[in-house]
Structure 1
Amino acid sequence: MKKLINDVENVVKEQLEGMALAHPELTVKFEPYYVYRSDAPVKGKVAIISGGGSGHEPMHGGFVGKGMLDGACPGEVFTSPTPDQMYECAKAVDSGEGVLFIVKNYTGDVMNFEAAAELVASEGIKVQNILIDDDVAVKDSLYTAGRRGVGTTVLAEKIVGAAAEAGYNLEKCSDLCRKVNQYGRSFGVALTSCTVPAAGKPTFELAEDEVEMGIGIHGEPGTHRMPIKPIDEMTEYSALQIIDDPAYTRTVREWDGSDWAEKKLVDVPFAKGDKVIAFVNSMGGTPVSELYTIYKKLDEVCKDKGITIVRNLIGPYITSLEMQGFSITLLKADDEILKFWDAPVKTPGLTW
């Protein structure tokens, strides 16, 4: 294992210490870990919080700031944060307008964010959990029951964060986040594995001429392995998995103010005439120059399907340590989504 670390046990702590020094506009707490805007709580504003295992930076801590997240809760590498992290973070950033937890669909994250929501509600703080489960590759995986939460998470944090900054209340923020999830789909490809520091060896093995199609952000298996192809072929395959994905129905649990209630949701398929935000993401080890080749082919595939890319995001925004690979996310974009996508944002990981 070759990594730029000191002691394995202190990886996340030392990275957070460096982040705190580099970004004085953020406040970093260590017992337990959480990161939040130094100007929080922002009066009259719903607080948006997300979190998950470390190793996916800049998600989530790098997206804390004006126009995006109010707080983020980092777990150990590829390990869910604990309920006390979300609880303390929520108390630090709540202005009285309530807290929205944006939760990726991984079993540990779901369980711990639900426990945190109950703790937060017991303090009289309005709270809601909205799930992101946008990965079209697999229905169930090592980490999930149902589709995994991947690239749409970044888009939801930007769009809902801007809406909260603009004055949306908790119910409207929740509705918007739910819609973004229903409108977004993702698919990922790995060329190599990655190494979790505590494990000291690659999560899985790929032959020199193999790629894993439909990979998860923790190195979970995808749909199949195949010999590496020219990038246009792999891009087209990935894009069509997203574009041709039919309506997807699932049941989610959301907080109704006093208890959990089940809600049935249906993802909206893509159709000719749609406008989309296209997100081409590096898994950490893929240079941005190669992502532009992917974007070129993605634009061609979308045009062939009668879909117009009206906004894009290209770069390493939701990574998997040093994994070589990419993911594609398409988000159907209406006027509300585009308005808040275009709104100003100022965070360590995303600024315009």
Structure 2
Amino acid sequence: MKKLINDPKNVVIEAVAGFEAAHGDIVRVSHDPIFIARSDAPVHGKVGIVSGGGSGHEPLHGGFVGYGMLDAAVPGAVFTSPTPDPILAATQVVDGGAGVLHLVKNYTGDVLNFETAADLASAEGIEVRAVIINDDVAVKDSLYTAGRRGVAGTVLVEKITGAAAERGDDLAAVVAVAEKVNSRVRTMGVALTPCVVPHAGEPSFVLADDEIEIGIGIHGEPGRERIKLEPADAIVDRLLAPILDDLPFVAGDAVLLFVNGMGGTPQVELYIVFRRAAEVLAEKGITVTRSLVGNYTTSLEMAGTSISVLKLDEELTSLWDAPVQTAALRWGR
């Protein structure tokens, strides 16, 4: 294992300290319990939005804390859910009197711990709602989930929901936007290589040099099938087909196309993937009106990609375009 770390036990602590040093103009950090909050939290009269989960998926979630997106993010150990205590503390810090929304990826530990934190916050008089993100079409159940996994589509839910909260929507309206995005986004991923969790010191799964895993999860969970390596266009076709069939997406739809890197995939390859995905959508009469390309929901150093397609309407497009200022997404401000 070759990693730029000191002690595997301190990876998250030291990474969050570095994040604080780099982005102190946007965020402030609590170290005990550990969470990242926007520097001006709580914003009075605004719905607070909290997300989080195991570390190793950066910039998700801490990289999306700031104006127009998340009010706080709670990092757990690598690939491990945060416990209820820091989730509760983050919820308390961002409560501006309008309630708090938890955006939770559908992994069993995350769901249970956010539920516990929400119950504790409710006992203190904080109104808390939760939306469970489950955009992955690859498998119904996995090692970590009951039902579909929450993967890269989480970024789109966080951005658009954050914009709704920033414009002053009340809690019920913000929840409705989050549910709307979640219901209209679908994702499928592929792994070319495994990743190495620091405290484990060995690959989380094994792929032969000529093998890839279709439908992989962001923790290295098994996907739909393991096949021989194919050209990029053939892989994209394999990923897009179940995405488009699932909603389904149809001719005349306007969509946001999001090509995400899993951490070890260079940008040049991601644009090759985007090119083919855009071609396929155009052939089907589906218009790409918004796009995002880059490493936003990663799996440590895993090589691979995921494709997310979000069906847009006027409201969602406007909220996507709304100003955002975070470490990982910035525009319009």
State TM-score, norm by structure 1. Answer: 0.93
Give 2:41's aligned amino acid. Answer: A
Tell me which residue corresponds to 2:210.
Answer: 209
Deviations 1:62-110 (A, max 9, x none): 1000000000000000000111111000111110001000000000000
Give 2:284's aligned amino acid. Answer: K
Q: How does 1:1-352 map to 2 (within 5 A)?
A: 1-24=1-24, 25-245=26-246, 268-352=247-331
State TM-score, norm by structure 2. Answer: 0.98
Kindly tell me the number of residue pairs found equivalent between the two proteins.
330
Secondary structure of 1:244's match?
helix
Give 1:53's aligned amino acid. Answer: G
Deviations 1:148-181 (A, max 9, x none): 0011100010000011000011000000100101
- Structure 1 distance, partners of 2:101, 2:253, is 28
- Structure 1 distance, partners of 2:260, 2:159, is 15
Structure 2 unaligned blocks of 5 or more: none
For the 8 Å contact 1:34–1:74, the answer to whether it is kept is yes
Secondary structure of 2:324's match?
coil
Give 1:282's aligned amino acid. Answer: G
- Structure 2 distance, partners of 1:111, 1:95, is 24
Give 1:13's aligned amino acid. Answer: I
Deviations 1:185-206 (A, max 9, x none): 0000000000000100000010
Give 1:164's aligned amino acid. Answer: A
Q: How much does 1:23 deviate?
A: 1.1
Secondary structure of 2:292's match?
strand
- Structure 1 distance, partners of 2:269, 2:56, is 22
Give 1:156's aligned amino acid. Answer: V
Give 1:63's aligned amino acid. Answer: F
For the 8 Å contact 1:278–1:312, the answer to whether it is kept is yes
- Structure 2 distance, partners of 1:194, 1:133, is 22
Identify the range of structure 1 (19-28 vs 204-213) with the bigger mean alpha-carbon deviation: 19-28
Secondary structure of 2:260's match?
strand
Secondary structure of 2:248's match?
coil
Deviations 1:13-69 (A, max 9, x none): 000111111111211111111000111111211001100000000000010000000
Q: How much does 1:269 deviate?
A: 2.5
Secondary structure of 2:104's match?
strand
Secondary structure of 2:36's match?
strand
Aligned-pair identity in percent equals 58
Tell me which residue corresponds to 1:256.
Answer: none
Q: How much does 1:237 deviate?
A: 1.1
- Structure 2 distance, partners of 1:218, 1:60, is 15
Structure 1 unaligned blocks of 5 or more: 246-267
- Structure 2 distance, partners of 1:103, 1:321, is 20
- Structure 1 distance, partners of 2:118, 2:251, is 39
Secondary structure of 1:295's match?
helix
For the 8 Å contact 1:183–1:269, the answer to whether it is kept is no
- Structure 1 distance, partners of 2:323, 2:316, is 14
- Structure 1 distance, partners of 2:153, 2:172, is 20
Give 1:219's aligned amino acid. Answer: G
